[in-house]
Amino acid sequence: MRLYWFKLLGVLTALVLAVVFYGQYYVWLVARNSIQRTVAKPESLDKDLIGHLQFYGSHEDQKKSSTAKLRNIILMKEDEPLACPSSLQLRAKEDSLYKTLFNFDIPLLMWDSHMTESNWRVLSKRPVPYGWKDLPREDVSSTLKLLNDSANQMMFEFKPPQSCVRCAVVGNGGILNGSRKGKEIDEHDYVFRQNGAITKGFEEDVGTKTSFYGFTVNTMKNSLIAYEADGFLSTPKGEAIQYIFIPSDLRDYVMLRSAIMGVPVPTGTDKGDMPSLYFGPETSPKKFKLLHPEFLLYTRDRFLPSEILNTEYARLYMPSTGGLMLLSALHSCDQVSAYGFITRSYNLYSDHYYEKKKQTLEFYANHDLLMEMKLWEMLHKKGIMKLYQRGQDNDKEGKT
């Protein structure tokens, strides 16, 4: 009798263990098949994102990890909570117009992995700033090869303790003179400035903090000449400042390469220049970022397709430096406030906030500032960003 009960207990134990092991196997099998189905059907992803991964995935390392990238992106979209519930990305995706214009997966910055055969075939057919046409391949390749640090691949290496990254983009418009917005600007996590960014003597209106300084070599050097009398004697420098190159010409690639290497510019318009005069003595790649030509084309065609493109001046046209910095922030930050940008009451203020005598804002064929004005105003109305305006702007809103 005792033997019978021992046998029965053994059978029951075997059955329980079998059920447990089968259950664990079934859970593992379902999970594996779920991942396989997800990866095998990437058409469920945003098509622009897939196109981005395919276009920029020709580098050997990217090829090897493409499946993992797709899986991680899908799982992140489905499972992970948003770090910033009030992110401008959410507002843009909820808007009937801007959800079709914004592509937050567009490549914003360019670094060494982007120098591939497929990229060269595409970008060498487009003129600068939207590509590499007529640029010596060696100059482009040798520059990108030096952008090999993680800091070159993302706008912010370290996010602030808060869940939302707050950015101020400070233009140089005369509307800031007497604004007393300096303290408010400096309270942002990051501050973008560009070209003739004078702060000394105007701290109360424009603040003192600079996280990123954006420019083309042409606009930077022209600013040092044109605004010297107003007090722009040097570009912003400091350990915490990073420099954003806009690749509008060959000289931008050559200057960037020389800055990282810490050597004089060897050839071209800026031959003999010491980059340390503009960016300080540090030569680490961490100090520098380079906007991607694909991002420049995207901003022009989706947000600022000016009528100038249909005129004899089409080859000169591109979004303004300030416009590109603002659009870069909109694709990097959770919350963006713009100060010193053109508004409807621009004729009431001087061209720049630091001019001692009022200078009328002049319009040139290389930018469409009125179109940019309307874009900033609409993004402000939609709550995607905040645009600093004065009373007259609100009075005129929608009337012109």
Q: pLDDT tens across 110-130, in order?
A: 999 999 999 999 999 999 999
> What is the end-to-end Cα distance of the chain in Å, rounded?
101
Spell out the residues 6+ positions from residue 297 whose beta carbon is closer than 8 angstroms to its own. 126, 130, 131
Nearest to 330 by CA among 383, 277, 279: 383
Please say if the pLDDT value at position 59 is more than 70. no
- Mean pLDDT is lowest, of 56-70, 150-164, 233-247, for 56-70
- Mean pLDDT is lowest, of 10-14, 92-96, 286-290, for 10-14
- The two tokens of residue 112 are 């060494």
According to DSSP, the β-strands at 288-290 and 242-245 are: parallel
Report the C-alpha gap between 210 and 240 in whole angstroms: 8
Nearest to 389 by CA among 337, 353, 350: 337
Residue bearing the bigger pLDDT, 156 or 2? 156
Partners of 337 in the β-ladder: 168, 386
Helix (H) or strand (E) holding 73: helix 60-79
- The two tokens of residue 283 are 């030569």
CB atoms within 10 A of CB 105: 16
Q: Give the model confidence (pLDDT) of 158-181 as tens digits.
A: 766 667 999 999 999 999 999 999
Angle (deg, nearest 10), helices 321-330 and 369-381: 20
**Quick one: average pLDDT of 341-360?**
96
The reported pLDDT for the residue numbered 93 is 94
Distances (CA, A) of 74 to 67, 69, 83, 163, 287: 11, 9, 16, 22, 32
Please say if the pLDDT value at position 375 is more than 70. yes
pLDDT-based confidence at residue 391 (cuts at 50, 70, 90): confident
> What is the DSSP secondary structure assignment for residue 82, as one 8-state letter?
P
Report the C-alpha gap between 323 and 375 in whole angstroms: 10
The reported pLDDT for the residue numbered 41 is 32
The reported pLDDT for the residue numbered 24 is 47
**Quick one: average pLDDT of 145-158?**
93
Angle (deg, nearest 10), helices 217-226 and 250-261: 90
Residue bearing the bigger pLDDT, 70 or 217? 217
Residue bearing the bigger pLDDT, 25 or 353? 353
CA angle 220, 389, 243 (to 5 degrees): 25
The reported pLDDT for the residue numbered 17 is 53
The reported pLDDT for the residue numbered 177 is 97
Query: DSSP 3-state assignment of 211?
Result: coil
Report the C-alpha gap between 323 and 17 in whole angstroms: 66
The reported pLDDT for the residue numbered 82 is 59
**Quick one: average pLDDT of 260-268?**
96
> What is the DSSP secondary structure assignment for residue 314, as one 8-state letter?
G
Can you say whether residue 288 is alpha, beta or left, with left for phi > 0 and alpha for psi between -120 and 50 degrees?
A: beta
- Give me the phi and psi of 44, to 5 degrees please: -75, -15
Spell out the residues 6+ positions from residue 301 whose beta carbon is closer than 8 angstroms to its own. none
Q: Identify whether the C-beta of residue 120 lies closer than 8 Å to the C-beta of residue 132.
A: yes
Q: Identify whether the C-beta of residue 328 lies closer than 8 Å to the C-beta of residue 338.
A: no
pTM of the complete model: 0.79
- Mean pLDDT is lowest, of 180-189, 368-377, 386-395, for 386-395
Residue bearing the bigger pLDDT, 73 or 191? 191
The reported pLDDT for the residue numbered 83 is 75
- The two tokens of residue 19 are 């059920």
